[in-house]
Amino acid sequence: MIESYNILSPDFERDAPRELMLLSIISQSFFQPFSLEDNLLVILTALTSGSGVGFNRAMLFLRQGDRIKGEMWLGPRSAEEAGLIWEVLSTPGIGYVEILEHNRALVAKNQDTLSGRLKGLVYAADEESALLPAAAVCRKELLHVRDAANDPLVDRRFLNLIGVDEFLCVPLLARDDVVGVIVLDNAITRNPIAAADIKLAGVCGLMAGNYIYSTSLHKKLLEVEKMAAMGEMALFVTHQLRNPIVAVGGFTDQLLRPDVPEEKKRRNLAIIRDEVRRLEDIIYQMGHFLKVSLKEPVYFDPAPALAAVLDSPEVRAKGQGYALELRVDPCPPEILCDPTSFGEVVRNLLDNAFDATPAGGAVAIRSYRKNRSGYVVSVRDTGRGISNPDKDQLFRPFFTTKEKGMGLGLPFIKRVMDTCGGKVEVQSRVGKGTIFRLTFNYRDKEPQP
């Protein structure tokens, strides 16, 4: 007999060891399509929730070059607020996802108080004589402070902000580097920090540090790929622009001759007009793909954006003669993306589906929640399909299987999804059709008052 278990969704008993639950929660989050900020919040949540280590408050400093800067502070502002929070979080049926949602709202609420004040703290991170909390970064050690008011290594500004005598500084180690520090305290309960909690917090720090480091490497890899694409682009532009420019030059020279018949002039002018339009199209597509920067992703309701795409004249015109199947979630959560780019991405996928599908074929668009791992928008066609060799190159700039295509649509889609922390996947069978799936980070909508 073989039993199977979902490795990303282990079902722990309430009396399971907290160390196992804590490490499982943090490691699972790294497999979810969360943003870097959300995953850092997961770590702070694990360090302050009852099912985790259970500190009262956690503040995060991240390294930026040779400095560390305050970024996020999670926890109650007072004993009264702590009582209300703990009452909510101890409600039967409240799970870790609900706790994370609650803490996301708490951090946003405290931007003008706790987190807002923390962001004003910036320290040099390369000085041997650095004060706490920067000293934990320089020394690469867990530092447990018990009498902060009388310790000369504690920065006075930081002491005035944190307002406690005992706290723990956890450096976020990654390879031979330190990417930040988390400071933990029990400002509300005033419970002493136990040795077991220090060890567990240290393990969380190692996981957080390596996660931040790998995320940074991924961003650098994307930049390298972008530079490689720029090299390909230079060759592509030379090839694409040469023919129209040569044609325009040649036919213009003919027009300048005094003995050119009127009919030939009109023909030459028509050719020049067509070549100029071709140049305009090339320049537009190149400019669209090479936008200096995409807009910052935000959480928004995708339903109106999807409706606008499906009701657009271009999609309606192209959709004539196809069986268009819509299975769109009527009450979706808010997804993380730039709304304008989202519409362009969906429209691009629909255009590709119509182009790949013969008249009378079917094109389907769906949107749905994929458990807690993301919100999916998919476009499926019953067209010619994509071979495995071509599938491996789909997202390379300038790769295309179309006679008149430039190969910039799918790379643009991938760039949008990378920017918002989502992903794009393709599944295809030659002669059967293709499915493109876009997976977005999402959050549940705030209840309407």
Residues 205-257 have pLDDT tens digits of: 888 888 788 777 777 777 777 777 677 667 666 766 777 888 888 888 888 88
Most confident of 10-24, 132-146, 399-413: 132-146
Structure confidence by residue, pLDDT tens digits, 20-42 = 666 666 666 665 555 667 677 77
In sequence order, the 6+-apart residues with CB closer than 8 A to the CB of 309 are: 315, 343, 346, 347, 350
At 408, the pLDDT band (50, 70, 90 cuts) reads: confident
The sign of the CA dihedral 387, 392, 393, 394 is positive
Is residue 69 within 8 Å of residue 122, measured between CB atoms?
yes
Residue 42: the pLDDT is 74
> CA-CA distances (angstroms) from residue 285 to 109, 233, 288, 291, 449?
42, 12, 5, 10, 44
**Dihedral class, residue 163 (left if φ above 0, else alpha if ψ from -120 to 50, else beta):** left
Long-range Cβ contacts of 257-264 (<8 Å, 24+ apart): none
Band (pLDDT 50/70/90 cuts) for residue 434 is: very high
Task: Give the residue-averaged pLDDT of 73-83.
Answer: 68
Counting residues of the chain whose pLDDT is more than 90, the rounded percentage is 16
* Residue 313: per-residue pLDDT: 80
- Cα separation of 410 and 414, whole Å? 6
- Spatial distance between the Cα atoms of 179 and 99, rounded to a whole number of angstroms: 26
| Range scoring the smallest mean pLDDT among 9-13, 19-23, 50-54, 165-169 | 9-13
Task: Output the CA–CA distances (angstroms, integers) from residue 422 to 31, 306, 393, 418, in the order listed.
Answer: 12, 17, 19, 6
Q: How far apart are CA 346 and CA 365, in angstroms?
A: 9
298-327 as b/e: b if 16+ CB within 10 A: eeeebeebbeebbeeeebeebeeebebeee
Q: Strands across the sheet with 362-369, in order?
A: 323-327, 362-369, 375-381, 433-440, 423-429
Residue type, 371: N
Query: What pLDDT score does 375 carry?
Result: 92
Summarised one tens digit per residue, pLDDT across range 115-125 is 678 888 888 87
Residue 207 is predicted with a pLDDT of 82
Ordered by start, the domain boundaries in the chain are 18-220, 295-448
Is 295-448 a CATH 3.30.300.20 domain?
no
Q: What is the 3-state secondary structure (H, E, C) of the chain?
A: CCCCCCCCCCCCCCCCCHHHHHHHHHHHHCCCCCCHHHHHHHHHHHHHCCCCCCCCEEEEEEEECCEEEEEEEECCCCHHHHHHHHHHHCCCCCCHHHHHHHHHHHHHHHHHCHHHHHCCCEEECCCCCCCECHHHHHHCCCEEECCHHHCCCECHHHHHHHCCCCEEEEEEEECCEEEEEEEEECCCCCCCCCHHHHHHHHHHHHHHHHHHHHHHHHHHHHHHHHHHHHHHHHHHHHHHHHHHHHHHHHHHHHHCCCCCCHHHHHHHHHHHHHHHHHHHHHHHHHHHHCCCCCCCCEEECHHHHHHHHHCCHHHHHHCCCCEEEEECCCCCCEEEECHHHHHHHHHHHHHHHHHHCCCCCEEEEEEEECCCCCEEEEEEECCCCCCHHHHCCCCCCCCCCCCCCCCCHHHHHHHHHHHCCCEEEEEEECCCEEEEEEEECEECCCCCC
* pLDDT confidence of residue 437: 94
Residue type at 216 in one-letter notation? S
Query: CA geometry: angle at 129 spanning 136 and 70, to 5°?
Result: 45
How many CB atoms are closer than 10 A to CB 295? Answer: 14
Tokens of 184: 């933990």
Pick among 3.40.50.300, 3.90.1150.10, 3.30.160.150, 3.30.450.40: CATH of 18-220: 3.30.450.40
pLDDT over 70 (residue 98): no
pLDDT at 223 (0 to 100): 75
